[in-house]
Structure 1
Amino acid sequence: MTSTSRHGFHPAGVSDVGSPRARLAAFVTRWSLRPFTNVLPTTRRGIRFSRRIVATSMNLLGPVPKGTSIDLVVDGPVRGEWVRAAGVTSGPRVLLYIHGSAYVICSARTHRGLTARLSSSTGLPVFTVDYRLAPEHPFPAAADDIESAYRLLLEQGYSARNIVIAGDSAGGHLAADLIIENDRTGTPQPGALVLFSPLIDLDFELSAQTERTRKDPMISAASARALVALYTDGNASDLPRLRLDLALVRDLPPTLIQVGGAEMLRGDARHLHSMIEKAGGSCELEIWPDQMHVFQALPRLVPEAAHALERASKFVENSLDTADVQHDSKEQVS
């Protein structure tokens, strides 16, 4: 549950301010990383350099726990990997993870630490989609790859109600796009959505507004927009699969959104939360005070990372259990 405070949707049981380590991390990042990310060119050489830097940082600050098993998958258009924490075995439930970083920088490999900890906390195997990246593969390559991965899980026998879609940053946009496409094509929706710092507004107008009150420690809205533009590739910003609208989507899955109070995408998180509720869906929004973008991936840097994943895991368990009860009730009636 969340409560309303001066921070907005504040997670119950969480301090009104971030831990000293979290606040120090945001301060140091703002004066070290942000100036660098704001001048790094979006040339192919600049992108390659960014990919190396991010991969190294993710491994240092959120390493893969010992005992994690990784199985690479190439099945037609679907590329990715199964991530299972120590002791986790296959079962009827699964988590499909969509990584972020502006459609340009990260991969299934960079997110192994985060997906392994999600596997450990939920007890579920995680399939991370290694979707095609821009600028090599612009829109709609990434969105098409996510749709193919979801359908592959359905073809492999997983019931939609037992699939959880999770993702961060640009992965949030891709997850929302999948929900809209499922509705359009009559494909059953997943049992739940869990989104960390979701990007929704690809024009970054919401981010620019948020920046006026507090600058993001990692990057400016203008610089982030330049990266995403490598994916949108000159397409009109009001294209339906770029400017997403959930208003007419039926059967929206229950959704949890976690976002950092220090990041510019908290405006996107509020916007997505509002869209889902106006469409009649159920959505919990947690704004974690003083946290940076996708802080859940940085357990060595901020102690709140583990707490946030615990809350996400409880949400997943409750949502899937509820879906099972509702399914059983419908079968008894029929």
Structure 2
Amino acid sequence: MTRVGLGSVTERIGTGRRGVRASRRMIAALMAAGGRMPRGTTVTPVRDGAVIGEWVCAPGVDRSGPQAVYFLHGSGYVLCSPATHRSFVARLSQVTGLPCFVVDYRLAPENRFPAASDDVVAGWRWLIDSGYAPSDLVVAGDSAGGHLTAALVLNLAADGEPGPAAAVMFSPVVDVTFGLAARQERRRRDPLITAAAARELLDLYTRDAAPDDRWIELDYRGAAAAPPMLIQAGGAEMLSADARHLATRVVAAGGRADLEIWPGQMHVFQALPRLGPEADAALLRVRDFLRKTTSTPRLQGDIR
């Protein structure tokens, strides 16, 4: 259904002003139609200096505790927002029992590199300044947010700074040239978008960036000191190649990366529980991973 519907038009929309507006509307509609908001979820807007975002707490989740999730939404650096991902984050809060802070980082084409990474670092420092210990935080992100997540935790480790207790990435972008994705695409077409169209979209953000900047090309030198990582991707998506590459590079550098490729699933399927039970099952795997790799005592949630 995705291939015939959304996938048949994504590469023809283009990346001009009208195309970006149309793509933003389509992705918002897909996330709304496929998502499921836990009843009783609370959303608290945040605007503190340069830091803009929102706290999302599932029913029964108390924001006054010492632990939290720092969530970096996907978007191709262009399309999404905390609002599009609100039901996804609420379900993550529900299954972990933790409050989630979603930073509203600036998007391209209005804001190019390094706007998003600057905002992500500002959000991380804001959480620390707010009283959270790094070891009491989990960083999670999907797609381009997965790229930001990997860069954040790897860069903190390389710089010798305290990092989070764990990192979770859903269908992360790793190779921003989409070379890995293009090779995977020759084996199986992604139902959502082509590698060429995805690269054109991402180029709206990265075209002025140095290719070897560590917020563009991930730096694995600190991987041995980085937190344990869980990487999930769908078996039907081209970014399954990026997920495999990330896990391989982290492990080869002495770090820990648990990789899960979910057969037959599409890009960021975890956000779309109305399309199948695998979305909830994958989030339960996140809960179980965090139970094993962190000292967080509150990971008692479930999906209802």
Work out the CA distance in 2 between the residues paired with 1:135 and 1:259: 27
Which residues of 2 match residues 65-80 of structure 1 at below 5 A? 65-80=38-53
Mapped partners of 1:52, 1:132: distance in 2: 17
**Residue equivalent to 2:23:** 50
More moved, 279-288 vs 48-57: 48-57
In the TM superposition, 1:235-246 aligns within 5 A as: 235-246=209-220
Letter in 2 for 1:239: D
Q: Measure how far apart 1:278 and its partner are.
A: 1.2
Matches within 5 A, 1:54-133: 54-90=27-63, 91-133=65-107
Select the residue among 226, 231, 256 that pairs with 2:205: 231
Q: Quick check: 1:247–1:278 contact (8 Å CA) kept in 2?
A: no
Aligned twin of 1:173: 147
Seen in structure 2, the aligned counterparts of structure 1 residues 287 and 70 have a Cα distance that, compared at 3 Å, is same
What are the within-5 Å matches in structure 2 for residues 208-223 of structure 1?
208-223=182-197
What is the deviation of 1:36? 0.2
Deviation at 1:181, TM superposition (A): 2.9
- Higher Cα Rg, which structure: 1
Is 2:156 the partner of 1:197?
A: no
Cα distance between partner residues in 1 of 2:75 and 2:107: 10
- 2:301 aligned residue: none
Distance 2:226 2:287 in 1: 19
* Higher alpha-carbon deviation: 79-88 or 186-195: 186-195
TM-score by structure 1 length? 0.86
1:19 matched residue in structure 2:
none
Where in structure 2 are the equivalents of 1:2-17 lying within 5 Å? none
Provide the rounded CA distance (Å) in 2 between the counterparts of 1:269 and 1:130.
24
**Which position in structure 2 is the counterpart of 1:207?**
181
Code of the aligned partner of 2:62: T
Gaps of 5+ in 1: 1-27, 324-334
For 2:263, the aligned partner's letter is P
TM-score, normalization: structure 2? 0.94
> Which one is further off, 233-242 or 304-313?
233-242
Letter in 2 for 1:156: S
Equivalent pair of 1:102/1:169 in contact (CA under 8 Å): yes
8 Å contact kept, 1:61–1:300: yes
Q: What CA deviation, in whole Å up to 9, does each residue of 1:184-206 have, x standing for no partner? A: 54321100001100101000000
Q: Deviations over 1:83-116 (max 9, x none)?
A: 0001100211100000112000000010001000
Aligned ranges for residues 272-283 of structure 1 at < 5 Å? 272-283=246-257
Residues 231 and 258, structure 2, Cα contact 8 Å, conserved in 1: yes
Q: CA 1:322 to 1:58, structure 2 compared with 1: closer, same or farther past 3 Å?
A: closer
- C-alpha distance in 2 between matches for 1:60 and 1:155: 37
RMSD: 1.4
Q: Deviations over 1:36-61 (max 9, x none)?
A: 00101101111111111211221111
CA distance in 2 between partners of 1:307 and 1:31 (Å):
26
| 1:32 aligned partner | 5
Identical residues among aligned pairs (%):
52
Distance in 1 (CA, whole Å) between partners of 2:91 and 2:161 is: 29
8 Å Cα contact 1:82-1:126 kept in structure 2 = yes
Q: 1:259 matched to which residue of 2?
A: 233
Select which of 241, 263, 266 maps to 1:292.
266
Say if 1:122 and 1:317, in contact at 8 Å, map to a contact too: no
- Identify the residue that residue 159 of structure 1 maps to in structure 2: 133
Matched letter for residue 154 of structure 2 = I
Find the counterpart in structure 1 of residue 114 from structure 2: 140
Name the count of aligned residue pairs.
296
Please, which runs of 5 or more residues in structure 2 have no aligned partner?
298-304
Separation in 1, partners of 2:278, 2:223: 33
